Amino acid sequence: MTVTIRDVSKKSGYSVATVSRVINDSDLVTEETKKKVGQVIEELGFVPNNTARGLSTRKSFAIGMIVPNISNPFFGELIKGAEEAAGEKGFNIIILNSSYNNEKTIKDIMILKSRNVDGIIMSSADFDESIYNTLVENNIPFVLTGPVSSNHEINYVSIDNLEGAKKATEHLVKLGHKRIGYMAGDYASYLNKLRLQGYSETLKANNIKTDENLIFQENVEKNIIKLINMKPSERPTAIFTFNDYMALEYMEKLEEKGIKIPEDIAVVGFDNIKMASYYSIGLTTVDNRQEEFGRKSFELLLNIIKDKNEETHQIITKPKLIIRKTCGAKSKN
Amino acid sequence: MTVTIRDVSKKSGYSVATVSRVINDSDLVTEETKKKVGQVIEELGFVPNNTARGLSTRKSFAIGMIVPNISNPFFGELIKGAEEAAGEKGFNIIILNSSYNNEKTIKDIMILKSRNVDGIIMSSADFDESIYNTLVENNIPFVLTGPVSSNHEINYVSIDNLEGAKKATEHLVKLGHKRIGYMAGDYASYLNKLRLQGYSETLKANNIKTDENLIFQENVEKNIIKLINMKPSERPTAIFTFNDYMALEYMEKLEEKGIKIPEDIAVVGFDNIKMASYYSIGLTTVDNRQEEFGRKSFELLLNIIKDKNEETHQIITKPKLIIRKTCGAKSKN
DNA sequence: ACCACGAATGTAACCGGTTACATTATAAAG
DNA sequence: CTTTATAATGTAACCGGTTACATTCGTGGT
């Protein structure tokens, strides 16, 4: 049915080994035979079977990618960057949705192993010991995206979250705010810890003493009620929120209550999701370019696969503040 | 290094054939041997090598998915649905980003062929003859998502766009509007044709004569200028826009000019993207559930792969109108 | 007791590539 | 004109599963 390397061998008069060498552009064959064999390949429309190739080389030219939620454009962009970089090197991406579930993540890793992927790009909200062990025991090259709290030496690429939080908070300080709040959601991620830390350190560096009443770490509902019930004189005049998604929620609720942004409360987010730039929202935020991270993740992974050397790499990019309207500073748009 | 079926065979005392049968849960083996062999598999941590399996069965339990833009949540949801459905059946998804480029799409199809995918889910904005031929010549089972203008008999799943456009327009008619506009972008897609048709037919059915001046088919910039420059008495009192994305753009521009929504102009979109429901936007729109379509696409594809029968299937789902604020009707939220 | 038959298991070829090793051809060296 | 090194090609085993076909074994019919 399908044309195989032996068909090409027969028709061209060369052995399968030589044909294989031609396919792989080995320098063991003459230019002339390359041409002749190439001709036959063309004629027969031969396409090498990747599965067979993978079986003998134990490589698949495929990498796995496990993300918490494909439909979230934040991860969509990550995937896009990785897919593009992979394609350029002849790799393909097998995508798996972990749904923020670590048990599923481990199953996914095993699935990817059975598919002989050459490596995995992981984007886990909660990279724990069990995931780490699974990857290491199965000897699978991997890189993480996002900040990593693990005390193992791990390859990852991430934005500098501490620095980003500092820039965001500092911007509010420079605008003259004294009562600056930090608003997060209810889950105690490492990411949250870093961003809170950046916030706190910035206040300290500017001789503003931290006020526990201005740090909101319960769920969004409770936080908003607490905020709304504060006397205007006690209320923060500016808030740095954990991420854009939450910032949008807070903003919606605040405006419902007649609290104006940025006049009454200035807002700065984190991530620069597409919506932040959109439709009269104009959220000031910290740019967190996922597409670029996707690309870098793949490139790092490829290095690891090739080199197999022991040293780990951490690629940490510098964050950039995007000033729009919600912080009250003059927009640069 | 890795544990193979022969290791299991050796340790369990059974032949590789029997082990293979156990793996595949064949009813040719006793429950007892299944148990014994299963035990050994457990002990050794054996995971069957999918590549080897694929080579002999000529199946890969992988399907390819080609979408125009992964980072667009519209497609993200589609992928998510397909990935989930696929996972339940032991299939994985290889994702490829076509960037709306048909030449790349054809290359992608060949890449997927060399990987022996069992089928392809295509989401092309412009499914043309060359793509069709590539798929058919290479004998690759496929299903399309979205409406298909091709005159070939093709498997696809789509929303009923004509019906959706009718519902949207009808809603505006029922709200008492007489001057209802249709606003699209500048590209003449089949999709646009369908939605425009739904709009026109609804007007006719309600004895409102179509006014060419209320149909905006140039690019967004030009359309908006034309709209703004109309006298209020000539202006449409309501518009049905090609999709939510455009609707948001129009709304932004209109509000900038002081034209209130829905008081001055009511707006209905199409697709129900996440943003439509969000942050005081409240866009009335036609639900176009991509996640469900992703799931259905996979299920349909699986049927095609299994049955190999000749008849084609078209799965067309009924659209649902989501009433929010921009149409001026009382919101049901 | 003997044969037939079906259920359970085993043997080995096969899927389509890669590659270690063997072989042949070619040219340079003695 | 051998000998020898080297470049080009060929042979066949191998990757790790699946499965057609062969074999073994137990049971019921006569």
Beta strands A142-145 and A156-159, pairing class: parallel
B10 touches strand D (CB under 7 A): no
Report CB contact under 8 Å: B69, A52: no
Q: Which residues of B touch A50 (CB under 8 A)?
A: 114-116
List % helix, strand, coil for chain B (3-state, nearest 5).
45, 15, 40
Q: What is the mean pLDDT of residues A274-284?
A: 79
Q: Which among B72, B112, B75, B114 has a CA at the least distance from the CA of B94?
A: B112
- What is the pLDDT of chain B when averaged over all its residues? 90
- Helical axes A190-205 vs A161-174, angle rounded to 10°: 40
Whether the pLDDT of residue A256 is over 90: the answer is no
A33 touches strand D (CB under 7 A): yes
For testing contact with chain B, the best of A92, A107, A121, A220 (most B CBs within 10 A): A92
Using 50, 70 and 90 to split pLDDT, how confident is the model at A295?
Answer: very high
Tens of pLDDT, residues B5-47: 999 999 999 999 999 999 999 988 999 999 999 999 999 999 9
Using an 8 Å Cβ cutoff, are A121 and A303 in contact?
A: no
Of A60, A70, A75, nearest to B83 by CB-CB distance is A70
Q: What is the mean pLDDT of residues A102-128?
A: 92
**C-alpha distances out from residue B188 to A252, A273, B125, B182, Å:** 37, 30, 11, 14
d(CA A243, CA A267): 11
Considering chain A, what percentage of its residues have pLDDT values greater than 70? 96
Q: What is the mean pLDDT of residues A75-98?
A: 95
Whether the pLDDT of residue A223 is over 80: the answer is yes
Using 50, 70 and 90 to split pLDDT, how confident is the model at B187?
Answer: low
Tens of pLDDT, residues A149-197: 778 889 999 999 999 999 999 999 999 999 999 998 766 678 889 999 9
What is the value of pTM for the model shown? 0.86
CA A280 to chain B, closest CA, distance in angstroms equals: 7
Tens of pLDDT, residues B89-104: 999 999 999 998 999 9
Tell the burial category of B6 from Cβ atoms under 10 Å away from its Cβ (0-12, 13-18, 19+). exposed
Q: Cα–Cα–Cα angle for A271, A294, B54, nearest 5°?
A: 140
CA B203 to chain A, closest CA, distance in angstroms equals: 30
Q: Could you identify the residue whose CA is nearest to the C1' atom of nucleotide D13?
A: A56
Beta strands A180-183 and A142-145, pairing class: unpaired
pLDDT score, position B117: 94
Using an 8 Å Cβ cutoff, are A52 and B39 in contact?
A: no
d(CA A178, CA A157): 34
